[in-house]
A and B are shown apart, each in its own frame.
Chain A
Amino acid sequence: MIISEIHIDGFGLFNDFSSKNLKNGINILLGDNEVGKSTLLKFLRFTLFGYPRFKEQRMSPLFGGNHGGRIKAILSTNKVAIFERKGDNQIALSYDGNISYNETLWLQLLGNATQDIYENVFAFSLAELIDMDSLSVSGVADKIFSIGAGLNISIGEVLNDIQGGVDEIYSPRGSKQTIPSVLKVIQEKKSSLKTIQENLPKYQELTTEIQGLVKEISEIEKDLKKARIEKEENENYLKSYESFVSVVRIDEELAKLPEPQDYPKGGPGELNELEKEQKNLQDRIDELQKGSAEDKGIEEIEEDLKLVSFNNEILKEKAKVNYLKNNLEKYKQAVTDKSDTAQKINNLNITINDQLIAINSDWTEQNIVDFSNLLPHQDRVKDFKEKLESIKQKKIELESEKKALLVSGGRINTNNLFILISLVLLLLSIPAFYYSLYIIGIICIAVALLIFFGRKHLIKESHVEEIAKQLLEVDNKGKEIQDNYGNYLEKELNLKRTLSIDSVTEILKAIVLLKKDISERDDLNRKQKETKDPFINSFKDEAISISNLLKNNEPENDIEPLVSQIVEEFDYSQEQSNLKDELEGALSHRKKDLKKSLEQLTKNNQSITELLKSVNAADRDDFRVKYEVNDKARELIEKRRNAINTIETIFGINSADDVIKFLKTHEQASVREEVMNLATKISSKDEELSSKNKELGEKKNQIRQIEGESELAEKMTELEIERQKLTDAYKEWITGKIALKLLTEERGKYEKEKQPVIIKNSSKYFNKITSGKYKRINVSLDKSEITIYDSREASKNIDQLSRGTKEQLLISLRLGFIEEYETKAEPLPVIVDEVLVNFDPTRAKKIAEIFQDFGKNRQIIIFTCHPSMVEYFDKSSINLIEI
């Protein structure tokens, strides 16, 4: 196919752009860098093969116009086709007079070439050339293949990539890859799973063992129980042994005794009681009659009674005697008092008398008695005293004043002075008046008068005469008072008027005292007479009145001893009388007692007789013996019964006979031995039991533990997950391996089938490009060697080539492939993008020649911005289009 026209509606910076004169052969599109060469390239690609998915890459029109455009082409069949495509990939194909929107036809017309193919086969780029230089041998080999395959990528790389992935998953001797690692985990999980699974049989085992143990334990418990019972039985026999022995002995003794009788209970006791009672009664009777250590007996009392005697009469005078008794002391005291009082009265009389005389020899007691109103008198006297005192005082004052005045006689007589002054002033007034100083004159007069009449007020009035006068006055007053005082004494008090006031005061005091004394004395007298004496007398009378009743003694004369006598006798009689009463009482009491006791004694004797009769005893001793024997027998029977009871308590009701029978036939020692044996057996069985129980407990624990573990499904699921991982990894590995295998296969096929042709083609071009320097290229089948042969068949390896030569090689290979490709499919225009730029002029020219040659039957579109490039070509045979 040859592109003849390009028309762009809107694409990148192109708007309504056309290029109509593209031809077969070399077409050089010359333009500056920014002019849009690469845009054009893209347009070609997009229009033919489709716009890219991403909008940003679609080169939307920048300057307007519908996005898209069309390409007119002349196919190898010489038919014309217009490929129109819009920016949204809508197509319209004009072909054979029809417009179709069918992609299939479109593709067909393009020879089913894909964009990839187009890129890798028909488009030469500068970048690729540059890369070529840096490729290693294998890289080149790869490259050769890729070119040959029409691929942009290196097969070798792809193979390595896949191989790498595959190796990561598994490699024959590796241990770190995915598969071995997962396998390891699987094995770990399997083993831990196994441990859990082993629980099942273990459970079964343990349950069976437990059942066995339970049975064994029950057997042992049964044995133990039996042994315990036996031991207990034997121990019981031992316990019963004593009782057994008692029974046997008792039976023997009972045999010797008579049948026990049903004697009334407590016979001997009763007898004892009665005997005791009897003895007591007898003792009592004796005691009553004869008396004891503490008490007198009847006999003795009767004796005593006979001895009792007393004064009955005096007893009758109890009241009087009591009176005397009670007042004896008082009487004694009264007698003493009387004499004291007499003494006192006497003293008082003396004192009174003395005092009286002291006051006034004429005075009698009556005077004193008559003296009344002592207090007012005392006051008056006091009054006089005071008055006289004041007069005295005044006198002294005046005296002293006088004295003072007389002493101060040397001083200026002030009174006279003032008179003098006033006179002077008066005199002065005259001249004043004379000289017509009337005012002064008046003033003088006034002052003079003032001083004269006012001088009393200016000076002390201390005239001696004044004073003397006063003194006289006072004196007279004093005398008057003294007079009054004297009168008062004489008339009122009946005393001598010459008495001093102090004396009078004293006398008054004494009168007071005297009065008191007198009254006191009178009092004493009176009392004595009125009360004290009568008492004494009456007492005396009483005493005397009884004195004649005395029988024991002659009455005393003195009252006091008399009274004593009386009292004494009275008391004695009283005592005796009481004693008699007492004795009589005691006597009657005892006699009563005695009667009662005697009665009781009789009764007692009767009882005893009856008692003896009740058991047919001959006498008391017999009675006792009978009872004794009987009691013994009963006792033995009781004892026997107790022993039997003991046995029966241990062995149960009605078992005693059997027990006794057994014990009669079995030795105690043997029974004891049996007990010991059984004890040993029991303890050993106990030990066995506890150890079995422990074992049981342990096994039960184990079972509980196992029952609790339930991670099986979880662990199994984990295991399954690991298996799944393994499977997935394995699948991935297989997938990778398949890819590798097929890829390798295909590559092999390609190399075998296609590559030789391509290499041949390429060698041709290489020869041409190198101007015959290199004749051919050889690639070994396993691609490990790429050799270039020169004209002399000398070989060189790739790495021995220069950069430029490598580049030439690349171009040759490309051309070789294009040639081969075109044999199978619709040829497409070859696009060369700025490829000649890096070559030196010689080589560049050569390549241009090759291109030109190659372009004879093909369309080659060369994009460049270097005008010099154009020079390499034969101008006449190229189509230059400037953009």
Chain B
Amino acid sequence: MLKIKFIHTADLHLDTPFKGLSSWNADLSKKLKDATFKSFKNIIDLCISKKVDFLIISGDIFDSENKSLAAQLKFVTELKRLSDKGIATYFTCGNHDPLKSWLDTIKLPENVYRFDSSKGQFMTFKKGEDAIADIHGISFHEKVVKENLAADYKLAPNPSPISIAVLHGTVGIPGPHENYAPFKTSDVVKKRFDYWALGHIHKKQVIHPSNPAIIYPGNPQGRDFGESGEKGCYLVEISKGNDPIAEFIPTQLIRFEDLTIEMTGIDQIELLQGKINEALEHASNYDENANYLLRITLNGRTGLHSSLNDQVQIEELVQHYNDEQSDKQYFTWIDKIYVNTQPDIDIEKIKSGVGFSSEILKSFDTYLEDNKKLAELIKTVEEDFVNVQARKEISEFTDDINKNLFEKAKMILLDKLIKQE
């Protein structure tokens, strides 16, 4: 039975920082700092425990802009573990870790093969004397590669029973990721490879289940709230003549979750903790044996609006919640709670009335309806901020963010102008 078993992962982004965290917590920091390494280590452990034939990594192993020495050294150390057990590794370089950013003084262990940037490369995996699988791949020579690299992939002249293509690139319609090495699914299906081991998109997805199987494994450890949910690698079994079986196995150290909680109708602040846990459990693929890092947004109209807006109280709540995690085997930490609630007042009612408050609300509405006007106002306001260095550290605001700020300003004023009983 001609069969191979391997693990497919990509976008390790070793030793890259976490973004979007609002608070620094000594305990959390300790856990976070090695998270990317730990997830990769878990993958290596998995390779060994599942006794795979080889490991495929489809690019972006580290981020050359970070200039992390540890990333390259530790990567090689872990691969050596596989090499010692006789498990091979095939990997390509992506846009973040193009060939030229790798240290030439690092020696890759035996059984570790890195594809270079020449076209049409493939390496044959053998069991004993028999050639079982051809593994094709190509590495980014430099950071930006916009040509369709997939086009040059074709089966070897005397192909082995199984052919696998390793590619770091963007399939189909461009999305939030930059359009590196773009290609279309339809182009690729024709090429009669058994499996396309892709990389670059951080969200895992099965583009095509079989004939061929085209899979993005996603990065094994999320690094901000945009990369939430389960993160891991794919364990793939291909036996000639059958469809490939690809099983997703989570390996992350910490899961990011962005939760939104409706506070309308909730009048007691003690209920909040329960609501948080409830929201968490309802999040997709909730795993009670995983560590979580939460960003919580409170929405809705609630009488608790003013107490929620009390920074101190919210911080205490978060602190209390997090302190309770320290004894647990699997922790759930709250990074920040964004209070987007509105006071329990009928804004429409106010708006339709007469008076200063109504006028102000109407005025806000005019801005919120006109993005341009809104942007202009913000620009005017920003002119008062002359600290150039600080401004550099902050990324540009999108229209959505601007709208959000307006909404917040509106709420603040409402809060202050309208006294509640």
Q: A-side interface residues toward B, CB under 8 Å?
A: 52-54, 57, 107, 111-117, 149-153, 158, 161-162, 170, 172, 179-180, 182-183, 186-187, 197-201, 203-204, 207-208, 211, 706-707, 709-721, 723-728, 730-731, 733-739, 741-743, 745-746, 749-750, 821, 824-825
Contacts and interface: CB of A to CB of B under 8 A. Distances in A.
Given A117-B355, A717-B18, A153 B74 contact: no
Given A53-B421, A172-B386, A737-B384, A197 B67 contact: yes
Contact of A721 (B22, B353, B381, B408): B22
Interface residues of B, number: 69
B103 interface: yes
Interface in B318-354: 344, 349-350, 352-354
Secondary structure of the B contact surface, majority rule: helix
A731 B67 CA distance: 31
A734 B417 contact: no
B66 A712 contact: yes
Contacts of A723: 393-394
Contacts of A726: 390, 393-394
A176 to B, nearest CB: 13
B16 interface: yes
B32 A714 contact: yes
A729 B240 CA distance: 58
24 contacts: A114-B349, A114-B353, A117-B354, A150-B356, A151-B356, A153-B417, A199-B69, A707-B69, A709-B69, A712-B69, A712-B71, A713-B18, A716-B16, A717-B17, A717-B33, A721-B24, A724-B19, A728-B22, A731-B401, A735-B408, A738-B378, A739-B409, A742-B364, A745-B363
A150 B387 CA distance: 39
B390 A730 contact: yes
A107 B394 CA distance: 46
Nearest to B360: A746
Interface of B: 15-24, 29, 32-36, 66-71, 73-74, 103-105, 303, 344, 349-350, 352-357, 359-360, 363-364, 367, 377-378, 380-382, 384-387, 389-390, 393-395, 401, 405-406, 408-410, 412-413, 416-419, 421
Contacts of B378: 734, 738
Contacts of B364: 742
A713 B15 contact: yes
A171 to B, nearest CB: 9
Given A721-B22, A725-B22, A749-B359, A707 B409 contact: no
Contacts of A115: 421
Contact of A183 (B66, B356, B393, B395): B393
B17 A114 contact: no
Given A713-B16, A734-B381, A200 B68 contact: yes
A713 B393 contact: no
A186 B364 CA distance: 35
B67 A738 contact: no
Contact of B354 (A52, A111, A151): A111
A738 B356 contact: no
A852 B29 CA distance: 73
A150 B355 contact: yes
A720 B21 contact: yes
Contacts of B359: 746, 749-750
Nearest to A182: B390
Given A721-B22, A736-B412, A57 B421 contact: yes
A497 to B, nearest CB: 150
Contact of A713 (B23, B68, B103, B105): B68
Contact of B409 (A713, A725, A742): A742
Given A158-B416, A162-B412, A724-B22, A738 B381 contact: yes
Q: Report, nearest first, the 3 A-B pairs whose CB atoms are least far apart.
A: A716-B17, A207-B105, A149-B356
B69 A200 contact: yes
Contacts of A182: 390
A720 B19 contact: yes
B357 to A, nearest CB: 7
B354 A709 contact: no
Interface centre among A52, A709, A731, A739 (most CB of B within 10 A): A739
A743 B24 CA distance: 35
Given A150-B355, A735-B409, 10 more contacts: A112-B354, A211-B105, A712-B68, A713-B35, A714-B32, A715-B17, A716-B17, A717-B29, A719-B17, A720-B21
Given A707-B69, A728-B22, A738-B405, A52 B421 contact: yes
Contacts of B23: 721
A714 B15 CA distance: 8
Contacts of A717: 17-19, 21, 29, 32-33
A754 B34 CA distance: 63
A723 B224 CA distance: 14
Contact of A746 (B18, B67, B363, B380): B363
A151 B357 contact: yes
Contacts of B344: 53
Contacts of B355: 114, 116-117, 149-151
Contacts of B413: 158, 739, 742-743
B63 to A, nearest CB: 10
A151 B355 CA distance: 8
Interface centre among A114, A172, A726 (most CB of B within 10 A): A114
A821 B408 CA distance: 29
Nearest to A173: B386
B360 A197 contact: no
Contacts of A117: 353-355
A709 B24 CA distance: 21
A736 B409 contact: yes
B311 to A, nearest CB: 10
Contacts of B412: 162, 735-736, 739
A825 B354 contact: yes
Nearest to B385: A170
B405 A731 contact: yes
B66 A720 contact: no
A811 to B, nearest CB: 20
Given A716-B17, A733-B385, A738-B409, A727 B394 contact: yes
Nearest to A174: B387
Nearest to B351: A112
Contacts of A186: 393
A63 B211 CA distance: 83
Contacts of A57: 421
A219 to B, nearest CB: 21
A723 B18 CA distance: 11
B405 A183 contact: no
Interface centre among B19, B74, B355, B413 (most CB of A within 10 A): B355
Contacts of B406: 738
A113 B105 CA distance: 78
Contacts of B408: 731, 735
Contacts of B15: 710, 712-713
A716 B105 contact: no
A203 B18 contact: no
B20 A158 contact: no
Nearest to B421: A52
Contact of B103 (A107, A203, A736, A825): A203
Contacts of B395: 727
Contacts of A187: 389
Nearest to A54: B421
Contacts of B67: 197-201, 712
Contacts of B103: 200, 203-204, 207
A117 B70 CA distance: 66
Contacts of A746: 356, 359-360, 363
A714 B29 contact: yes
A198 B34 CA distance: 20
Contacts of A716: 16-17, 66
Contact of B74 (A172, A200, A710): A710
Interface centre among B69, B349, B367 (most CB of A within 10 A): B69
Nearest to B414: A739
Contacts of B24: 718, 721
